[in-house]
Amino acid sequence: MLNIPNEKVRGHQRVPSDTKEFHEATKRDALMRLKKDLDHLLETVEESRKCGVQKEMCGFEALYHRFLQEDGPSVEWDRIEKLPEGAVKDYSTIKSPQEGHIRDMLDKLVVVKLNGGLGTSMGCHGPKSVIPVRNDLTFLDLTVQQIEHLNKKYNANVPLVLMNSFNTDVDTEKVIRKYKGFQVHIYTFNQSCYPRISRDSLLPIAKDFDIENDIEAWYPPGHGDFYQSFQNSGLLRKFIEEGREYCFLSNIDNLGATVDIKILNRLIGDDRQGDKPIEFVMEVTDKTRADVKGGTLINYENKLRLLEIAQVPKEHVDDFKSVKTFKFFNTNNIWARLESIERVLNAKTMNMEIIVNNKTLDNGMRVIQLETAVGAAMKCFDGGIGINVPRSRFLPVKKTSDLLLVMSNLYSLKYGSLVMSPQRMFPTTPLVKLGDNHFSKVKEFLSRFANIPDLIELDHLTVSGDVTFGRGVSLRGTVIIIANHGDRIDIPAGAILENKIVSGNMRILDH
């Protein structure tokens, strides 16, 4: 329980502690009411699921308790220190392993993909991981291909673990049946399912545990939930008992997040330094103007930790976005030592900053989701480091503008991995902005291209309005195409646009 001061408030006397005592009493009341509500919800769970659900609700209650206790920002801006020398290693300084050691290293690895997201923001139904991204292959197909290639090449046995949410679990289980004949063991587990809280009452809006019938009352609590759910599933202990040492965890929509043998060599190979193991690695990469909102690494209270924009006081947001002050951002490619995860969980010292996500449901109800980020656990581990990796390890597909890049001739596909064309002079990817009204949904986006244009020499593309592209179009340098409202622009087949602005109305009609 919370510590509540035991002083009596007399009459209408106004003292500074009045407000504090009021808040403390409100918090205590909220926690007691929550416990009552959770007990009521648990009564509606079928007996076979009760044990697992109780564990989840204990996790939710602990998160809620911390949410009530936290007052003010989790980071005091003036106490942020400069990153110590050597805290972020440069990828180029890490040694490649000897060929003969690679198999042994791979057999100590588990690959985890965060697979809880839906494709709704891109107009698709079901898990995002089953959206075709290249040659009719989905995110999941590419991931399985990558790991099978490793297993075949080195005669290794790297398992693939998918962390699903209640939104993606059923569909994913159907899809993974097709990989039965592949040389990859696939495991799945579900992250927690937590009740959304009313912003007014601070109590769950769910009335029972019939999640499918009231799906808006529930949510998956962010990827920081990985650690506890991984342990609850029994997989963490299983892999430790098998002699596996590290997991490599990343978002399934980051097509650059492949198993990196050099980083693995730094953790358990001949490039390992010192007696103490590295317990946690966060891959970071250089910030550009496109990444100013991305989480960054800071030194705080003598520990490396992740700082997200949501934790930054309003008056310091511009400082946070400064590429000079914070040079790196978090790719969400994480390497963590399995025994260390178990130790931190068992000691109950996993203490990640809470992200309060405010939402408004379709019926107008304002709710709160309490979430955590997987990288925020860094401060809970000993001997954590950052590794400044090439930009090629960060290739997320969040929007159709990203899809345009990965479907184009900028990349070729090799064993499930995207490799940038050697014909491109600069290793950076072009900056692409496509108008939301006509390009945000995958189906409509694809209908606007007879085929994907040549982008090898493109630096910047902005497209807005009703625009279509004919076959064999080539875009170079900076190209801006803007069709005004009511107008339409058809870029003709074979057109080469280099450093051009196209605006107004341009239609090619059959006759």
Q: What is the pLDDT of residues 275-293, one digit of tens each?
A: 889 999 999 999 877 777 7
Query: What φ, ψ does residue 280 adopt, rounded to 5°?
Result: -155, 130
Q: Please say if the pLDDT value at position 19 is more than 50.
A: yes
Averaged pLDDT, 329-351: 95
Choice among 61-70, 247-256, 381-390 with the minimum mean pLDDT? 61-70
Does residue 24 carry a pLDDT above 80? Answer: no
Pick the residue with more confidence: 434 or 43? 434
Determine what percent of the chain falls in helix, strand and coil, rounding each to the nearest 5.
35, 25, 40
Domain locations in the chain as residue ranges: 77-190+221-393, 400-503
- Nearest Cα to Cα of residue 30 among 71, 74, 72, 61: 61
* Mean pLDDT of the residues in the chain: 88
Q: What is the mean pLDDT of residues 23-46?
A: 82
**Architecture of 400-503 per CATH?**
3 Solenoid (2.160)
Q: Is the pLDDT of residue 144 over 60?
A: yes
- The Cα–Cα gap between 289 and 84 comes to 25
- Confidence class of residue 23 from pLDDT cuts 50, 70 and 90? low
- Range in 154-158, 253-257, 267-271 the model is least confident about: 267-271
Mean pLDDT, residues 40-49: 85
398 annotated to a ligand binding site: yes
Q: What is the mean pLDDT of residues 466-474?
A: 95
State residue 4's pLDDT score.
38
Q: Which residue shows structure tokens 């891109």?
A: 122
Domain 400-503 in the same topology as domain 77-190+221-393: no
Phi and psi based region of residue 367 (left: phi greater than 0; alpha: psi -120 to 50; beta: remaining): beta
Residue 7 is predicted with a pLDDT of 39
The sign of the torsion formed by the CA atoms of 397, 337, 100, 243 equals: negative
Active site residues: 398
Query: Is 311 known to sit in a ligand binding site?
Result: no
> How sure is the predictor about 11, in pLDDT bands with cuts at 50, 70 and 90?
very low
> Where in 224-341 does DSSP place strands (E)?
246-251, 280-286, 296-300, 303-307, 328-337
Q: Which amino acid is at 102?
A: I
CA-based torsion, 407, 413, 418, 419: positive or negative: negative
Q: What is the DSSP string of 162-206?
A: EEE-TTTHHHHHHHGGGGTTSS--EEEEEPP-EE-EETTT-SB--
CATH number of 77-190+221-393: 3.90.550.10
**Nearest-angstrom CA–CA distance, 42 and 32:** 16
Query: What type of residue sits at position 25?
Result: A
Please indicate if the annotation marks 223 as binding a ligand.
yes
| 199-213 per-residue burial string, b: 16 or more CB within 10 A, e: under 16 | eeebebbbeebeeee
Residues in contact with 484: Cβ distance below 8 Å, sequence separation at least 6, in sequence order: 465, 503, 504, 505
Phi-psi map region of 383: left, alpha, beta (phi>0 left; psi -120 to 50 alpha): left
Q: What is the CB neighbour count within 10 angstroms for residue 384?
A: 21
The closest alpha carbon to 264, from 238, 284, 244, belongs to 244
Rounded to an integer, the average pLDDT of 295-319 is: 84
228 Cβ neighbours under 8 A, 6+ residues apart:
59, 192, 345, 350
Q: Percent of the chain at pLDDT above 70?
A: 93
pLDDT of residue 506: 67
What was the pLDDT predicted at 507? 60
* 128 annotated as belonging to a binding site for a ligand: yes
Instruction: For residue 208, give both structure tokens.
Output: 């029972």
Question: How confident is residue 367, by pLDDT bands cut at 50, 70 and 90?
Answer: very high
